[in-house]
Structure 1
Amino acid sequence: MKGDKKREFTRYTALIVIMCLIFTAITSQLFVLQVVKGEGYKEQANNKSIKEIPDTAPRGNILDRNGAVLAKSEQSYVLVYNQTDESDKTFFDTMDKVFKILDENGETKQDDFELKIDPYSFVFRSDDPQTQRMLEIRFKKDRGLDEEILKKLSKDKKNKLTKEEQDKIVDEELLKITPEETFKKLIKQYKIDDKKYSLEEQRRFMIVKDTLKMQSFSGYKPVVVASNIKKDTAFKFMQMLNELPGIDVTTQPIRTYPNGELGSAFLGYISKITSNQDKYEEKGYDVSSDYVGTAGIESVFEDRLKGSKGGRIVKLNKNGRIIEELGRRDPYPGQTVQLTIDKEVQAAAEKALDDKMAELRANPYSQYRSNTANATRGAAVAVDVNTGAILALVSKPGYDPNLFTVPGRLSTDLSKQFFTPDLEKFGREYIQQRGLMSYYPGKTEDEVLNILFPIDKSIKGNTTIRQDAYDIYAKSSFNYATQSRIPPGSTFKPLTAIAGLETGVITPDYTMYDNGTFDKGGGHITTFALDGANGWVNLTKAIEKSSNPYFMTVAKFLRGAFGDDVLAKYAWKFGLGVPPNSNVKPSTGIEIPEAFGQVYNSVSAKNDYSSMYLWKIMSMLKDGKSDRGDKFTAIDLYDNDKDSSKVKEIKSSLKNSIKDSIKEGSSAFNKDNYSKLIKDLIAADPKYSGSNISQKEIDTIINSIYYVAVSDANSQLRAGFHMYDAAIGQGMDQFTPLQMVNYIATLANGGTRYKLHLVDKFLDANGKVIEEVKPEVIEKTGVKSENLEAVKAGMAAVNEKGTAAGAFSNFPIKTAGKTGTASLTNPESIGRTDFAEYVGYAPLDNPQIAVYVVIFDGGQGATSAYIARDIYSAYFHVNSQNNTQNNDQNQSTQNNNGQ
């Protein structure tokens, strides 16, 4: 019995002992976990986080044809801020210290924030007012400024607006919020102490806080505080990391352009994503921070250049600093784009154009009949005549793409100069400097300002944004080489000669007496004061002397034998326009965006005149007074948002009838139809309610329309002066520098028009060729070789003893060319003068390179020939400087006969 009790006691005791041991172990472990290692685990639980940090891929290089680097990516020190609960507690003190260190070391802080101060303003990277408006609305919506407006609309019980109507109201209300009001709202939103910190300091804090907010929509990413900082500055921050919670130093590839402004016309630049954000999001971009190509090659080949992003899985400590890397996906560089551009030729072209424009501005009255004080814009293009490869492409003024790669480099003043220039301030200074008030007797400076730089009425409610109506302001962001459509002046005359020879209306020996005048018909005799009389001229002499009467006579022969479109037929073969209503793409083939000009032809003339005179008639009808002084009830044909669908339909029918009358004349003018449409408009549009317009008054309106549309517009369309002017590169002829250089290259190589191209090949990151661009023929013109040779003989004479002889005197290589002086209508009243143009090729007997040069407000065309000479010198490695003094002495002679 006792034994049983002993066994029972032993089992119980053993159980108790085991339980005690277990509880002791648990208690000990809890003690270790909670007390001994508690702080460590607490830190891990609360202050360590695992994040994926994206790594930007280096953009691919852009090279010239010989392998010289035009754009590349370099690893650079970058200062970043990592947001954590801990770093947020000391944000303002930390960033205050950071900004002071950056200032002391002369570093540029990250700043692509569109909201500026001193003065308060928005500066968006677009020179299009409508795009600026859209970007401003998006900026405010992204920061929640529309929420208050939406709340007010939702509280309005009477609100029965459609979503479209509501969105329109929200947008209009957002635009009413001034930049200063926006700034103050964001100061409040980001809890920035506007009493403690200066305005500049407030904005610095705002930039970081705003970036944190914008990046929060796309996951975790450190905020870049300063890019491309110096090595010494980076090491200084590394030594102070413990004092700066959230701050870290890392490296990132930064886009650099080692040649500065060189090649900006085709390279473009990269910038933060502002438009088409949805498109980029779909492609995997972080629209809050990623940079993309915004113009030129950088933009067009973004998909090839961008590379593939990498990423790191890391552990961050409580201060947001990386303490351990758990995994990595390496970024892969973008492809290299090798261009057809020759860096040395490009540099020579840019320098020559800059130097010549500076010379013209410094000596504005050195040429007869010209004031070149505003010679601030120009373009030059050089191509390989046998491939269409572009060797140089220049637009002036240019810009340094490096300004855009590191946010903060582009100052507020530069941003405004590029994208939102103060045209009112510029316009007033321009009017005063050029003495333009004398051309507007009785008008105030404000009235003249509104003529030259009118308020942009296309923007609803706009009272400040002005337009450069006469292309006066020099725009760095505009590509004059690819986008400007310019009258070619006398550089078009070789084409007129080709048309005349090919059709047989002239031969190379056709000779006429040039007395310095030409009868356009209808009693309109034009006198060419700049040229004077050239006496007896055949084709060679006519090209050499740039005889306007000769080539206008050729046009008269052409028109009489073949009609108004025969000149255009040959121009189209050389890429100077395309047939209207055809399926021919209006393009030279170049990879970057381009405009495209058109030669005079009857279809385009009708379309242009119908649009131009329709506006004139609409203005007349709204004024209620005809050109002949007849008065009537005002009729409004302008579009109005409040118009009913029926009113819109009647207005459209009336406008189409007017256009048809302008194009086709009396045969398309139906008085009964006009009468019915006007009566229908009066009945349908409430604004005429009670007007009681009689049939007699309606007849007066119809007669007034007839006088402008048929008697004036259509009769002008049927006149011969359009073709006569076109034959000498004036009137409706307008082409881009790209079109002009392609035309002259086609002439030089014997009549084969190539597709122009900038890209030679694409290479991978290891330099292996992925794709090579081959020359592509667009058209073989079929022009007889003997006719081309006859024209070339005249162009050779231009450079040897004609209007460009001053530039090419003693030049060691024989060349051919044609100068051009393209005039504007009444240029003096707008402070402008002629376009100075030149086309040419070299060598004479075996053409390799063709060029086109233009200087806006450059005066006579011979001026531009000097730039062509320097381009040839670089291409053929000829030192023309020895001849410069002798050539420049001859220029004054050519300035008086530089067409």
Structure 2
Amino acid sequence: MRWRLWFLVMIVLAAAACGPQRPQAAQVLPTLALLPSNYRLEDAERIAREFLQQWQNGDFAAMHRLLSLAAQDAYPLTNFETFYQNTNDALSFQSVSTSDGTGIFREQDSVAIYNYNATFATRLLGSFTDANRNLMLVVDETANEWRIAWTPDTIFDGMTNGAYVRAELNVPNRANIYDSAGNVLADQNGAMVRINVIRDSIPDYPNCLATIATALNQEVTDVQARLEARPSFWVVEMGIIEPATYTRDRAQLEALCAAQFENVPARRYPNGTLAPHILGYVGFPTEAEIPDLEAAGFNQASIVGRAGIELTWDETLRGQPGGRLVLVTSEGQVIRELTRVAVQPAQSLWLTLDSELQATVERILVETYRQARGGWAENSLGASVVVMDANTGAIRAMVSYPFFDNNAYNTFPTMGREAASRLIERYQSDPAHPEVNRPVQGVYPLGSVMKTVSAAAVADSGVYALDERYTCVGIWNRDITRYDWNDGHGTLTLPQSLTHSCNPYYYEVGYQLDQVDPWILPTYATRLGFGGSSGLSDLIEETGFIPDPDWMRTVRGETWTFSESVNMAIGQGFMGVTPLQVARWFAAIANDGDLPRPYLVESTGLLGDSITPAMITELTPTGLRPEVLAMIRQGLCDVTREGGTADFVFRNSPLQSIGVCGKTGTAQAGGPSTPSHAWFASYAPRDNPEIIVVAMVETAGQGSEIAAPIARQVLEAYFDMD
């Protein structure tokens, strides 16, 4: 140890001899005959501690002032700072802290060694400790005090002669997404190519920059800045290109840049437009997201979820990076390993979706719109279908029409950037807004489907007796003259009012509820799942809106009147709901009164390993009396049979063998010239209900004529009755 430290002193002094000479006399190497008895060891320790404190403060200038004059000459401040900055960049450095080691001792009377430990906090690989480090101090007679005998080895032992720190990150491949049967919905089997170059190895620098800029479709100045931000002997990742670009430019990149290439897996959705609103897509993080990502071990070039399940389950799908920090020679040979962190593999997702059913529902909607060309389809911008397990809330299919190809939105689209850009431009200029997930983000008036909520409110609250009857004559005029959709239905019970969808019956329901308490209907609507979150955590959803007297007073500055309750009773006015909320409410009707929490992710885990359930069925009791629910079910089950509003749709369907219970809805969506929204909400079988199907078609007309036939086809497909 003694001879090694003496040798380092010689190096420092020799380096000083090669640099600019100061006017003072040259320093004399300390000898036993020239003992600096007036330089105390305690002072050396003070200088060492101050140097380390300034390192922790990040004050390189203050650190540099504590170097011996010979070291300052050998390593001017700019060079000194560069050594630290380059090392910090490689470390993804956040901070350093030091602690005492074995203390300080004299190596010679004019040479002291301070032993300490340094702990480095990094963004990408956490914290690690480099223990038993030695900081050399020498007596600088010109400065008349102890100073730091600095060399690059002071940063990390072994850094002299061009050695540097290199981060070797191991980012796990993004995990797959599967449907309920194990069919792949998203994988990493797309192929891209990464370009790597070493500046010192580039044969033709100007033309190399131009070629890389062309391949990456970037400015030459940006390429040059990225390349020159790293030491000239480093391997620098320049960017990622498509296979077609690689084929076109490979020869030039190799000849002009001595480029090296790596295969990079890319996100891919093998089935194109299948469930794009559910799956979402991936991309680069935003500036605001980068700090949190770096804290998790990623960097700004990492691929993260940007929409859909790719976004909400991003942490599970991306895993946790690992890797190591190594000290390497200028030729890239590893000298020693500073730290290593194991990779935590990404976990795949298994969805509740039946991809075959999802594809079938998509085909039904496409064909329905095709057949309606020249008719209602000219006015309708889109549609929704939700298929949900009546007892658990598991979503078996959820389609928003029109669809889009989520491959186009990925950072590295497998179809090629040019084709992807054309698709995105088309989608974003489409007035139908295909990017909107209508089942969870579309908010609409509910029309006559709302009568199921009004029936529950008036019967469960006791405002109407269970055997209450009302004579529907086709006209109702307690405020303004309001009409039925036909000439009246005669005297009806509550179940019959649902079967025949009598409007005057529910005008009166709204009025009578309001007379008792204007809060009854809004409160029941909220209690039955409207105007709030459905509990779906897998996608971003809208909550819809249920107005009430307080909102009317504070937001609109108006007084609530019974007309608002009358409008709400038939699903009109200020209210708005999502198709998913309707599915949830119909599940409660079907399963004896519990609102299930909808979910899309069934389980997570490593393929071939143990799979962990991601969701436990959550049911929220509505508290409705069983006899009220039974009465509502009776009315709904007669809708698809003789005399019901959807009888003509289901009359010849094989579904009659199991029974379908549902409610048609036609909701006004604008002025007299704007077609109504068409709704049909249903469950089946009649006994022991299994599945919920809600179909909603925007500005298309009557629910019985437009939405009910869609629901029939979906139900027949689900029960394999095509």
TM-score under structure 2 length normalisation: 0.69
- Aligned counterpart for 2:711 among listed residues 860, 868, 871: 868
* 8 A contact 2:285–2:303 mirrored in 1: yes
Amino acid at match of 1:223: M
Relative to structure 1, the CA distance from residue 110 to residue 483 in structure 2 (aligned partners, 3 Å threshold; closer, same or farther) is farther
Matches within 5 A, 1:520-559: 520-521=478-479, 524-528=480-484, 530-559=485-514
Alignment of 1:802-821 (within 5 A): 802-813=644-655, 814-821=659-666
The aligned amino acid for 2:399 is: V
Cα distance in structure 2, aligned partners of 1:82 and 1:326 = 24
Q: Does the 8 Å CA contact 2:534/2:580 hold for their aligned counterparts? A: no
Match of 2:469 among 494, 498, 511: 511
Structure-2 change in CA distance of 1:794 and 1:211 (3 Å) = farther
User: Which one of the candidate residues 574, 585, 597 is aligned to 1:743?
Assistant: 585
The one-character-per-residue Cα deviations of 1:739-766 (angstroms, maximum 9, x if unpaired) are 1111111111110112111221111354
Contact 2:352/2:601 (8 A) holds in 1: yes
Taking the TM superposition and a 5 Å limit, the aligned residue runs for 1:422-461 are none
* Cα separation, 1, equivalents of 2:204 and 2:304: 34
349 and 317 in structure 1: CA distance in 2 versus 1, 3 angstrom threshold: farther
Structure 1 residue corresponding to 2:423, chosen from 395, 414, 419: 414
Partner of 1:776: 618
Give secondary structure in 1 for the equivalent of 2:564.
Answer: helix
C-alpha offsets along residues 149-189 of structure 1, whole Å, 9 cap, x if unaligned?
Answer: xxxxxxxxxxxxxxxxxxxxxxxxxxxxxxxxxxxxxx6xx
| Corresponding residue of 1:285 | 298
Among 524, 532, 550, the residue aligned to 1:603: 550
The range that moved more, 814-823 or 330-339, is 330-339
Indicate the residue corresponding to 2:183 in structure 1: 68
1:826 aligns with 2:668: no
Deviation at 1:49, TM superposition (A): 8.5
C-alpha offsets along residues 42-80 of structure 1, whole Å, 9 cap, x if unaligned? xxx999998545444211111222222211222635141
| 8 Å Cα contact 1:53/1:220 also seen in 2 | no
Quick one: which amino acid aligns to residue 544 of structure 1?
A: T
One-letter identity of the residue aligned with 1:785: P
Quote the Cα distance in structure 1 between the aligned partners of 2:266 and 2:291. Answer: 25
Aligned partner of 1:296 among 287, 291, 308: 308
Tell me the residue number matched to 1:363: 374
Contact kept, 8 Å, 2:388 with 2:396, in 1: the verdict is yes
Does the aligned pair in 1 maintain the 2:586–2:692 contact within 8 Å?
yes
Deviation (angstroms), 1:535: 3.6
CA deviations 1:649-672 (Å, max 9, x no partner) are xxxxxxxxxxxxxxxxxxxxxxxx
For 1:338, what is the secondary structure of its paired residue?
Answer: strand
Q: Does 1:853 align with 2:690?
A: no
Secondary structure of 1:249's match? strand
* 1:222 and 2:222 aligned: no
**Aligned partners of 2:443 and 2:229: how far apart in 1?**
41
Structure 2 counterpart of 1:607, which letter? T
Summarize the alignment of residues 326-475 of structure 1 with structure 2, pairs less than 5 Å apart: 333-360=345-372, 362-364=373-375, 371-405=376-410, 406-407=412-413, 408=417, 411-418=420-427, 421=429, 473-475=431-433
Counterpart position of 2:173: 58
Q: Retained in 1: the 8 A contact 2:510–2:562?
A: no
Does residue 527 of structure 2 align to residue 573 of structure 1?
A: yes
One-letter code aligned to 1:527: Y
Deviation for aligned residue 1:510 = 3.5
- Paired amino acid for 2:555: D
Q: After superposition, give the CA deviation of every residue in 1:539-578 in whole Å (9 maximum; x if it has no partner).
A: 3332222111111112222222x21111123222311236
Distance in 2 (CA, whole Å) between partners of 1:845 and 1:380 is: 23
Instruction: Tell me if 1:485 matches 2:490.
Output: no
Q: Superposition RMSD on alpha carbons, in Å?
A: 3.5
Query: Could you tell me which of 233, 247, 254 is aligned with 2:259?
Result: 247
Contact 2:352 2:396 in 1 (8 A): yes
Shift of 1:81: 4.0
Q: Secondary structure at the match of 1:222?
A: strand
Shift in alpha-carbon separation, 1:326–1:65, aligned structure 2, 3 A: farther
In terms of fraction of residues, the more strand-rich structure is 2
* Cα separation, partners in 2 of 1:867 and 1:767, compared to 1, 3 Å: farther
Structure 1 unpaired stretches of 5+: 1-44, 100-108, 114-186, 192-205, 365-370, 427-472, 579-585, 611-712, 880-899
1:791 is paired with a residue whose SS is: helix
Q: Distance in 1 between matches of 2:690 and 2:228?
A: 57
User: What does 1:778-793 align with in structure 2 at a 5 Å threshold?
Assistant: 778=620, 780-793=621-634
Secondary structure, counterpart of 1:76 in structure 2: strand
Structure 1 SS opposite 2:556:
helix
Is the contact between residue 341 and residue 391 of structure 1 (CA under 8 Å) also seen in structure 2?
Answer: yes
From the superposition, tell whether residues 837 and 326 of structure 1 become closer, same or farther in structure 2 (CA, over 3 Å): farther
**Structure 1 contact 600–723 (Cα < 8 Å) conserved:** no
SS in 2 for 1:877: coil
Matches of 1:76 and 1:753, distance apart in 2: 44
CA distance 1:98–1:490, change in 2 (3 Å): same
| Counterparts of 2:600 and 2:698, CA distance in 1 | 25
Alignment-mate amino acid for residue 437 of structure 2:
N
**Is residue 2:221 matched to residue 1:263?**
no
Query: What is the DSSP-based 3-state SS (H/G/I as helix, E as strand, rest coil) of the residue aligned with 1:865?
Result: helix
- Preserved contact between residue 408 and residue 423 of structure 2 (Cα < 8 Å): no
Contact 1:262 1:347 survives alignment (8 Å) = yes
1:591 aligns with 2:526: no
- Residue 304 (structure 1) shift: 0.9
Instruction: Give, in whole Å, the separation in 2 of the partners of 1:344 and 1:244.
Output: 50
CA deviations on 1:507-552 (whole Å, 9 max, x unpaired) are 555333323222142xx11234x44433443333322221111111
- Paired amino acid for 1:391: R
Partners of 2:438 and 2:203 lie apart in 1 by: 49
Question: Which whole-Å deviations, capped at 9, do the CAs of 1:332-377 have from their partners, x for residues lacking one?
Answer: 53111112222122222222223223333x032xxxxxx5413222
Distance 1:264 1:222 in 2: 32
Q: Distance in 2 between matches of 1:725 and 1:246?
A: 74
CA distance, structure 2, for counterparts of residue 568 and residue 301 of structure 1? 34
Q: Give, in whole Å, the separation in 1 of the partners of 2:328 and 2:206.
A: 17
Change beyond 3 A, Cα 1:55–1:212:
farther
The whole-number CA distance in structure 2 between the counterparts of 1:244 and 1:394 is: 50
| Distance change (3 Å), C-alpha of 1:213 and 1:279 | farther
Moved more, 547-556 or 278-287: 278-287
Q: In structure 2, how many angstroms separate the alpha carbons of the residues matched to 1:215 and 1:411?
A: 33
Distance in 2 (alpha carbons) for counterparts of 1:213 and 1:514: 83
Query: Do the aligned residues in 2 keep the contact of 1:495 with 1:571 (CA within 8 Å)?
Result: yes
The answer to whether the aligner puts 1:308 opposite 2:320 as a matched pair is yes
Distance 2:264 2:366 in 1: 35
In 1, are the aligned partners of 2:192 and 2:240 still within 8 Å (CA)?
no
Cα distance in 2 between the residues matched to 1:474 and 1:417:
11
What residue ranges of structure 2 are gaps of 5+ in the alignment?
1-159
Q: Taking structure 1 as reference, are residues 52 and 809 closer, same or farther at Cα in structure 2, changes over 3 Å only?
A: same
Matches within 5 A, 1:679-758: 713-714=558-559, 717=560, 719-758=561-600
1:510 and 1:68 map into 2 onto residues whose CA distance is 52
Q: Please state whether the residue corresponding to 1:564 is helix, strand or coil.
A: coil
Distance 2:200 2:407 in 1: 36
Asked if the contact 1:838–1:864 (Cα under 8 Å) also holds between the matched residues in 2, the reply is yes
Q: Could you tell me how far 1:845 is from its partner in structure 2? A: 0.9
Q: Paired residue for 2:193, among 67, 78, 84?
A: 78
- Contact 1:53–1:312 (CA under 8 A) maintained in structure 2: yes
- Determine the structure 2 residue equivalent to 1:695: none
**Identity of paired residues, percent?**
28
Q: Partner amino acid for 1:576?
A: F
**d(CA) in 1 for partners of 2:695, 2:203:** 58
